[in-house]
Structure 1
Amino acid sequence: MESVETRDWIRDGLRAVAAGALSIVLAVLNLPLFVLFVLSLVLTPVLGIGFFLLPAVTALIRLKANAARGMAAWHGVPIPRPYRPKPAGVAPVGWKRYHWIITDPATWRDFAWLLPGAVAGLVLGILTLAIPAYGVEGIVLLPLWIYLAEGWSGYAAMWPIESVGEGFLSLPMGLAILALGIAVAPYLRRADAWFVRLFLAPTRAAELRLRVDQLTVTRADTVDAQAAELRRIERDLHDGAQARLVSLGMTIGLAEELIERDPATARKLLSEARDNSSTALVELRHLVRGIHPPVLAERGLDGAVRALALSSRIPTTVDSDLTGRLETPVESAAYFAIAEGLANVQRHSGATFAYVSMHRLGDVLHLEVGDDGRGGADMTSGTGLAGMERRLAAFDGTMSLSSPPGGPTIVSMELPCASSSPRTMLSSGTD
């Protein structure tokens, strides 16, 4: 355990040192971007040069700011992008695009960050590099002196006794300073990330605007999904159970006409009607199960998912610590998302094993569906994964996919939830 923790500590520290070197390069780029932005503003009245120059410079600044946000997220400080969406019909250049950029508060927050960000990035980046570099210098100093002195005798003759002592002390001191530099490097990078967040994170108003935009999109997706679901139910009723019930009525009517003059044929028709009624009942049960499975209403999410795993063609295990019941819509969304995930495993993965994990932390339900298949799943191809994401988004849930070529594939989902009241639980269990 200690060796693993030591390796992780050293690995994280070395990554932070490398990130510090990169941050120095990125910080230097802030200075020319600052100058270009000022020039584009000053040259706007001059033959309209700014109308062409400002959008290009702003695009570069946003690219640079997004790179800083990405590095901050890599160090555990996520920063959402606060930019307003581009209005419809905005040309690559012109007054509308210029006005959209100039009136976006995020543009000016990016500009205000350029100089302070350059200073903070340079200072913290240099510190991140300088401490371990000083330690390396101390480690290399003693062997270098011995090499230059061509052996101990020449070394002792050329250097006074004080230098000899300093040379031997430089090795442990260098190791200690190197260890210190690797240890503090992640904290220095995180301090830089928090400084970036101070300037580049969305304001409260921007967060509310982004939230409204997200809810608008998810509501539209939910309405479309519900409309599609209603069309599916209507189609299944019309083509399945309704057609069979119509045929059943016609068969019974014909049997009524034949029961006096041809009882044998009438009995045969009634037997067919009984078979058709059984088939229609089965189709109705399947339709109801697709709307809200009875097993979900009776056993809750834990029991319903375990039933899904038992019916899967691929061996599937379920790891769950769920107790009690959740709100019915949340249970339904989680159940159908997991069902779609397992269906994708059976159809596309070529896996020999799958698993489902369900854990609740506070008011967040964490779900995971994984397999040992061939991998290569893509959110943009097909409708299964996209449908899962839309279903979760309707409840402010999120989904992420990890599926490198060769596998494994892991679909991770988070869904806000709250326990049902006893009254809701009682009604759910007795429906």
Structure 2
Amino acid sequence: MALAYGPETRHHRLPAALRAPFEARTWREFGYLVIGLPLSVLSFALSIAMVSLGAGLVVTFLGIPLLAAALCVCRGFGMLERARARGMLGVEIADLPPVRRRSGSGLMGWVGGVLKSGESWRHFLYSVLHMPWAIFAFTIAVAFCAYGWGLLTYPLWRWVFPVYAGVDGLQLYGDGTHTFFLDSPVEIAVTSLCGLFFVLVTPWVIRALVTVDRLMVRGLLSPSRLATRVSELESDRGVVVDTAAADLRRIERDLHDGAQARLVALAMDLGLAKEKLLEDPQAAAAMVDEAHGEVKLALQELRDLARGIHPAVLTDRGLDAALSSVATRCTVPVRVEVDLPTRPIPAIEGIAYFTVSELLQNVSKHSRASRATVDVWRVEDRLMLQVTDDGRGGADVTKGGGLAGLTERLDAVDGIFAVHSPVGGPTTITAELPWRG
């Protein structure tokens, strides 16, 4: 598998505690908390009002569609929150799959799908729970930021008090008889130091607050594992159906262009030979001999076609013998090592066979290798395949290519396909399949 390298580590002269107040991340997270308050209040007000109204009218026909509309409003705010979390917090979170319509069609099918969707109710729960947290987080973040920068810059704006308020400085304490103003140089310096403390602490307070937001977004607004799994299975089912249809078209084309065409020509040749049997026996014998050769070619094509569908050696003797047979047809020497205690189910065995078969065909056609190896073994509940060659490398899983088709075929059965093929070689391709023995 190709290695992924992260960005280079940047060396800073200032420690993180001093850089944090000026980093873009701090201000993005601060903006997230500030913007989150009005959005959360609006989401809370709309969702509570609409759900309450829908619940009150549930005895009538209007209540159920209104509840569904309320949940859709919550889903809309959830979509906005996911976009904000991606852009401002860097949270990797997937969008929700479309609402699955329940029994029925039209409006009621859609309403049933929304009301029975767990994601919809989790979005409503987010709208209810996030509003008090947004108020708390907004208050803490704004207070720390305002007091920190305000106190730190106090020497720059202290002149406002004597000019416009008629006092010597910021009043720290006052009652009917005593007042205390921050006006001496020492007091001003201490005030600035307190502000510096708040400025340095504020980024970490903000990061602690947005950590809760991250947890809420991931926990309540992300697709459930079940919904994600259903979406993956639907996609895999489409891949399986498309693959099966393509295989059927290939078989039909091979039959039509190969064996069928030869059998039609054979029938015509035998008809002509029958007509010449009495008039010219030697010519008829020559035509029958030619027809005999056509029969052999047709049988060979049918055997090749049957082997491409499911080879008999795989059914009778398993992967070891079948892969050894495939290796003999490769244009380079291939060493095959199969270490399996038992046999997996026929479906997995067939996928493993055709995966190795196609990879060895790629070795023959494109690799310019001098040798190759095939290793098959079992690790716990996984069937492992690895094909290596010493060719020129450069193999790539691009959409529409043969390797991309293998990736989709393995994904359909919860398999994994990894390619490590640097330019200049060598190439190592590893596949994992569920055992299911």
Q: Assess same fold via TM > 0.5.
A: yes
Unaligned 5+ runs, structure 2: 1-8, 47-74, 100-116, 138-210
How much has 1:262 moved relative to structure 2? 0.8
Written as runs of structure 1 = structure 2, the 5 A alignment for 1:101-112 is: 103=120, 105=122
Structure 1 pair 374–105 and aligned structure 2 pair: CA distance change class (3 A):
farther
Question: In the alignment, residue 393 of structure 1 is paired with which amino acid?
Answer: D
Percent identical pairs in the alignment equals 39
1:20-75 deviations in Å (ceiling 9; x for gaps): x89x88984544323333344457899xxxx999967632413566x566xxxxxx
Could you tell me which residue of structure 2 aligns to residue 294 of structure 1? 312
Partner of 1:245, secondary structure, is helix
Does structure 1 retain, via aligned residues, the 8 Å contact 2:78–2:123? no
Does structure 1 retain, via aligned residues, the 8 Å contact 2:394–2:422? yes
Question: In the alignment, residue 229 of structure 1 is paired with which amino acid?
Answer: D
Does structure 2 retain, via aligned residues, the 8 Å contact 1:402–1:411? yes
Partner of 1:374, secondary structure, is coil
Q: Is 1:416 matched up with 2:434? A: yes
358-367 or 348-357, which deviates more: 348-357
Partner of 1:313, secondary structure, is coil
Question: In the alignment, residue 37 of structure 1 is paired with which amino acid?
Answer: G
Question: In the alignment, residue 363 of structure 1 is paired with which amino acid?
Answer: D
1:321-358 deviations in Å (ceiling 9; x for gaps): 11332211111111101111222233233333332221
Structure 1 pair 58–198 and aligned structure 2 pair: CA distance change class (3 A):
closer
Does structure 2 retain, via aligned residues, the 8 Å contact 1:337–1:391? no
Partner Cα distance (1:407, 1:106) in 2: 50
Structure 1 pair 107–360 and aligned structure 2 pair: CA distance change class (3 A):
farther
Does structure 1 retain, via aligned residues, the 8 Å contact 2:319–2:338? no
Structure 1 pair 227–53 and aligned structure 2 pair: CA distance change class (3 A):
closer
Partner Cα distance (1:418, 1:298) in 2: 19
Q: Is 1:365 matched up with 2:383? A: yes
Does structure 1 retain, via aligned residues, the 8 Å contact 2:96–2:222? no
Q: Is 1:275 matched up with 2:293? A: yes
Q: Is 1:309 matched up with 2:327? A: yes
Structure 1 pair 54–278 and aligned structure 2 pair: CA distance change class (3 A):
closer
Does structure 2 retain, via aligned residues, the 8 Å contact 1:82–1:206? no
How much has 1:285 moved relative to structure 2? 0.6
Q: Is 1:266 matched up with 2:290? A: no
Could you tell me which residue of structure 2 aligns to residue 146 of structure 1? none
Structure with more helix by fraction = 1
Partner of 2:279, secondary structure, is coil
Could you tell me which residue of structure 2 aligns to residue 84 of structure 1? 96
Partner Cα distance (1:295, 1:367) in 2: 19
Question: In the alignment, residue 352 of structure 1 is paired with which amino acid?
Answer: S
Instruction: Give the ranges of 4+ consecutive aligned residues of structure 1 lying more than 6 Å apart after TM superposition.
Output: 24-27, 43-46, 51-57, 106-112, 196-199, 201-205
222-231 or 387-396, which deviates more: 387-396
Q: Is 1:238 matched up with 2:256? A: yes
Structure 1 pair 32–204 and aligned structure 2 pair: CA distance change class (3 A):
closer
Q: Is 1:375 matched up with 2:374? A: no
Partner of 2:270, secondary structure, is helix
Q: Is 1:385 matched up with 2:403? A: yes
How much has 1:108 moved relative to structure 2? 8.2
Partner Cα distance (1:346, 1:321) in 2: 24
Within the candidate set 266, 271, 281, 1:248 is matched to 266
Could you tell me which residue of structure 2 aligns to residue 152 of structure 1? none
Partner Cα distance (1:104, 1:344) in 2: 50
Does structure 1 retain, via aligned residues, the 8 Å contact 2:96–2:223? no
Could you tell me which residue of structure 1 aligns to residue 36 of structure 2? 37
Does structure 1 retain, via aligned residues, the 8 Å contact 2:270–2:291? yes
Structure with bigger gyration radius: 2
Question: In the alignment, residue 62 of structure 1 is paired with which amino acid?
Answer: R
Partner of 1:318, secondary structure, is strand
Alignment TM-score, normalising by the size of structure 2: 0.57
Structure 1 pair 227–27 and aligned structure 2 pair: CA distance change class (3 A):
same
Does structure 1 retain, via aligned residues, the 8 Å contact 2:335–2:374? yes
Q: Is 1:219 matched up with 2:237? A: yes
Unaligned 5+ runs, structure 1: 1-14, 70-80, 88-99, 119-192, 420-431
Written as runs of structure 1 = structure 2, the 5 A alignment for 1:23-34 is: 28=26, 30-34=29-33
Could you tell me which residue of structure 1 aligns to residue 351 of structure 2? 333
Q: Is 1:62 matched up with 2:86? A: yes
Partner of 2:374, secondary structure, is strand
Alignment TM-score, normalising by the size of structure 1: 0.57
Could you tell me which residue of structure 1 aligns to residue 186 of structure 2? none
Partner Cα distance (2:260, 2:380) in 1: 45
1:208-249 deviations in Å (ceiling 9; x for gaps): 111111111111111111111111111111111111112111
Within the candidate set 325, 348, 352, 2:370 is matched to 352
Q: Once superposed, what is the RMSD of the aligned Cα atoms?
A: 4.4
